[in-house]
Amino acid sequence: MDDIRLELLAEMCSDPGSVAVVVIDMQRDFCSGSGAFARAGIDVSANERIVTRAGEFVDFLRARGVLVVWVRQLSSDRYMSPAIERRLRRAPERLELCRQGSPGAELADGLRVHEADVTIEKFRYSAFLGSSLDQLLRSSGIQTVVLLGTAANGCVDTTARDAAQREYDVVVAGDLTGHTDARLAAAALDNLDRHFAVVCSADEIERAVAAGLEPRPEQCETRTAQNQREGQTHAV
């Protein structure tokens, strides 16, 4: 990671209280060997691999004051449109993905929503479209969104673009972004990094957030001067 991107990442994560981690579509139908994708013969190994580390990453950020938002993709006949039906004729297995109320729509095994977390439901690729995500983030004083989940070239890509257009700083944990097509995922992440986000590793994000909680030199100087004044006052 080059110096300018590290500098930008540090700025974006300097105040963990203004950061939200948005976990996109880490659900059984996408991330489990028994889910709808796998049953249709689609390779979900890249999604499965990131589940455990994603849970650890989210726990790390939550413990440091970062807002955690779980985004769940849902499908329902009520929200179907002629345009979507035509697109799905090329990929009929997607008709069964994350059906509202089905086990496949639940989070992947090992991921757990905590009491302080927020869950957002969506019926389109972008987590912003038709949801309360933007209102939630602005009401919570969020400036930086950290994205992870699946798929890099689908819902993560679309959400990152929408976040950037809404004037959020966008960070993507590239090694925690799943896919079913590595070629398309790599191209999507490269394009996001060039135009819409800083794409980096989960480790780099953790270090940036942790550094944001450390006292800055000027803060240390202020505290030292304050302590000296208090010491002089007590001495008198």
Kindly report, residue by residue over 74-88, the tens digit of the pLDDT.
988 888 889 988 888
Give the pLDDT of residue 230: 55
Taking residues 161-187, report their average pLDDT. 98
Taking residues 97-101, report their average pLDDT. 91
Q: Which residue has the higher pLDDT, 73 or 235?
A: 73
Q: Which residue has the higher pLDDT, 151 or 97?
A: 151
pLDDT at 180 over 80: yes
What pTM did the predictor assign?
A: 0.88
Please, how many CA atoms are within 13 Å of residue 71, restricted to the half-sphere of its CB?
A: 31
Q: Cα(99)–Cα(93) distance, rounded to whole angstroms?
A: 12
Taking residues 201-230, report their average pLDDT. 73
Share of the chain above pLDDT 90, in %: 77
Give the pLDDT of residue 228: 57
Evaluate the omega torsion of the peptide bond into residue 187 and state whether it is cis, within 30 degrees of 0: no
pLDDT at 235 over 70: no
pLDDT at 142 over 70: yes
pLDDT classification of 2: cutoffs 50, 70, 90: confident
Return the exposure string of 115-153: e unless at least 16 CB atoms fall within 10 Å of the residue's CB, then b.
Answer: eeebebbbbebbbbeebebbeebeeeebbbbbbbbbbbb
pLDDT classification of 226: cutoffs 50, 70, 90: low
Q: Cα(104)–Cα(54) distance, rounded to whole angstroms?
A: 19
Give the pLDDT of residue 26: 98
Q: Cα(61)–Cα(70) distance, rounded to whole angstroms?
A: 13
pLDDT at 140 over 80: yes
